[in-house]
Structure 1
């Protein structure tokens, strides 16, 4: 079956062929005809299965028939994912003079305002920054959003979590009502919150919501081409074991992503591994957006062999060369583990995932194994005696020097000050509310 058989425009099918994409994947075959037929759609498939094209192809096909104003809005949880989706839309629509606007934090607010006022064909945004524009940029800026034909929530399970609730509501408030637009949700993990949307009352005359899961939930979790291993270590020497893993003959030339839970840990590891002469880049929320983008480009271009990242990099990022994912810290949510290891073994390729398990991580690992329906195997080649002999001393020195450098440079001070300010503001707000309550009760008591 070809993309044209699914109803995709001839020009777009040719663009896909030029990108060496000739046959649709299961998620694309399932969703593209239904979206073109007017259905709202929920698509679930493992990472690396082509979900972006599953919503981009029908949107671009219909846009090319009537290219007006802001045709589609794509919301996504991270800046890096927004930029990646924008690159794919730009590549697919290169021959059609497509206009795209990326609206994410850390970039010039005024420049984004001017771009939105020009009513580009597609807006790709993070909910927080788009909500800021809706609040502060005026009707001229957001008026184009009131006529969008498509709304896409990419990584829908994350967007529908509590952390995005307020921003999403504000974004939805300026869009056409659901009966006047198509809504598509795509995710690698179909949660109860996502699935529940299928059973909401439907608008009269509109086709029912189409739910397409490529496989059962357990099979969707991780690709069959992914090898899942672990090492069990004392927490205070995790860095030394990481050094040994990266120097194993089978991994010494592998492109790797190392996931951590905190920005502070990401910075310690970046500096430590650099002192150990690894080519390293990092990606976390305390970095300015320009640095985040540069790090990602360096990693994609091969200038850095290792990317150290928090979960800002776990969602959707497609870097075909990643051969190894290391969980330096174990995530508390098994779904986060699935998204992390999904950075490798994409689109049928092989990949390895190694988890460094400390004494406090056992319960988390049991939850993860239950969720992925698979037991991890012990990583071969890592012996305690070898780590002590070859790695412990040099890693400890590098880490100690890194911590001293960070302390001298005041890493994280800005965040601490902001937290302190936020704490003071919250305290003032709480005491103010308390005073109002006391005054109110006094009034009601005297009346």
Structure 2
């Protein structure tokens, strides 16, 4: 359709009209989840259009290039028919910018392609995709290409496609992997994985390998370690690293280096697991099984492409062997291969890694970060019924990462069975190989030491000030606990006085005391209340004072009783709450 439209413009001599306009006419767009896949599509599109439709200008918009370069590329396509290939984030930004400048016309837009649509949605590009769709004409052809049909892809098809039709390509084979692909697995402990990988690569130095890790930090650490080990033992094998957090220019350079190489080792994450066609890959090695089991097929699919043969090897610990049956149920059969390194060989390789760490602090820090990221990744595995965190031997994992000591992280605080023995090396004394970084570190250490000294002095001064305040309080009056003791004594006395009053009242009710005797006894209980009153006539004083004391005593008794009851009620409520809290525990 696109070719027919473009040929029609040439026949009608519309191309000459376009060349005089101040904008580029957008005819098609391809969205890709990763930069590497977008670059690969772009290269193929340039190759195709240069031979079939040479007047079409293909543009690439991915991260890693400046916005000025992208805008200059659009302006350079003025008067031409354009096809845009790129990642959703950068294309969304570009469309927002050109809308203000009116240098890109989308009225004649024909085709929109979403490659690896499920990955686009899994990576959180749904908002960007919806914004892009809102800027394109509704009358268009849209294609969603995906190896796996998820609910999100189906929802996007219902929302973004008019009259959608599903084209499903299925193989007659009973397996989900190509017939030319041989899948192996090997049972290997975590502390022997590195040695096993090294010996396996040594046995096939002329072949091309891709090694998948679960995290970017693991790629950085094992990439540096493997580069050092292979340089000494297999000098012909080059090691290249690739992950999503790498600097864009470095990422592109490493990708191109591995594509052009005839042999070598690509240490990477799942950033290259989908869609990318890396030529002549002989072996896929899964150092860490993928978090998402769907990515197992995508990973091994980087080899045995287009009818070529290939092999894949997965490292599993002995308590993860149920993963083999799990994959078999999903129509991905695995054969066992015995390539695990011996215990002596594993120790020897790890000693080489530790020797490397002692010369460069950067490798030590990379190893610690890799261990932490692996532990957290393993804990969040989607197949937790197979990859159980409680069954993970963290001591062997830490040994496999060549750690000198365990880091202090939340995931390890609740575990008491980590039988890891620290090496005794003072990590703080290990220098950076880079002199500039080491100089900066030493400067920072001095600053930290000065801060600690100042904090210690401040704590000492505060402690001395507190002592002085306590001494002054002792001289001026009773301490707080003595005040508390006085309050307690007052409560006890009030209780005793109330009991005596109650006892007298009962005797008065039973007739054992006359009214005069009862009032006189109550007056004796509060002798100190009227101390200091001026003396008057005895007869008058006896009648008036006793009567006054009786009324005051009753009022005071009622108040005391009310206070005591309120206090007892509060204590009862507090004890009830404590018992309820203990039962909940």
Output the TM-score relative to the length of structure 2: 0.53
**SS class of match (1:394):** helix
User: Cα gap change, 1:231/1:220 in structure 2, threshold over 3 Å: closer, same or farther?
Assistant: closer
Is 2:109 the partner of 1:148?
A: yes
Q: CA deviation at 1:310?
A: 0.9
Distance 1:398 1:271 in 2: 10
The superposition leaves residues 258-294 of structure 1 with CA deviations (integer Å, 9 ceiling, x where unpaired) of 1111111111121111112231111112221111111
Is 2:193 the partner of 1:238?
A: yes
Distance 1:408 1:383 in 2: 25
The structure having more radius of gyration, on CA atoms, is 2
Q: How many pairs are equivalent?
A: 345
- Aligned residue number for residue 252 of structure 2: 293
C-alpha RMSD over aligned residues: 3.2
Is 2:233 the partner of 1:275?
A: no
User: Counterparts in 2 of 1:215-364, with a 5 A limit?
Assistant: 215=170, 221-248=176-203, 251-276=204-229, 277=231, 278-302=237-261, 305-358=264-317, 361-362=320-321
Instruction: Tell me which of 166, 171, 174 is aligned to 2:132.
Output: 171
Q: CA deviation at 1:72?
A: 0.5
Q: CA deviation at 1:357?
A: 1.2
Q: CA deviation at 1:394?
A: 2.8
Output the TM-score relative to the length of structure 1: 0.69
Distance 2:137 2:160 in 1: 17
Using CA pairs under 8 Å that are at least 6 residues apart, name the structure with larger relative contact order, 1 or 2: 1
User: Cα gap change, 1:64/1:239 in structure 2, threshold over 3 Å: closer, same or farther?
Assistant: farther
Instruction: Tell me which of 58, 65, 68 is aligned to 1:100.
Output: 58
Distance 1:403 1:255 in 2: 31
User: Cα gap change, 1:283/1:113 in structure 2, threshold over 3 Å: closer, same or farther?
Assistant: same
User: Cα gap change, 1:315/1:220 in structure 2, threshold over 3 Å: closer, same or farther?
Assistant: farther
**SS class of match (2:289):** coil
Q: CA deviation at 1:126?
A: 0.6
Is 2:68 the partner of 1:113?
A: no
Distance 2:359 2:167 in 1: 52
Distance 1:61 1:406 in 2: 61
Distance 2:344 2:8 in 1: 67
User: Cα gap change, 1:161/1:218 in structure 2, threshold over 3 Å: closer, same or farther?
Assistant: farther
Structure 1 unmatched ranges of 5 or more: 1-35, 37-58, 415-447
**SS class of match (1:273):** helix
Structure 2 unmatched ranges of 5 or more: 10-14, 19-24, 232-236, 370-585
- Aligned residue number for residue 122 of structure 2: 161
- Aligned residue number for residue 75 of structure 1: 31
Task: Say if 1:72 and 1:122, in contact at 8 Å, map to a contact too.
Answer: yes
- Aligned residue number for residue 190 of structure 1: 149
**SS class of match (1:212):** coil
Higher helix proportion, which one?
2
- Aligned residue number for residue 122 of structure 1: 83
Task: Say if 2:214 and 2:291, in contact at 8 Å, map to a contact too.
Answer: no
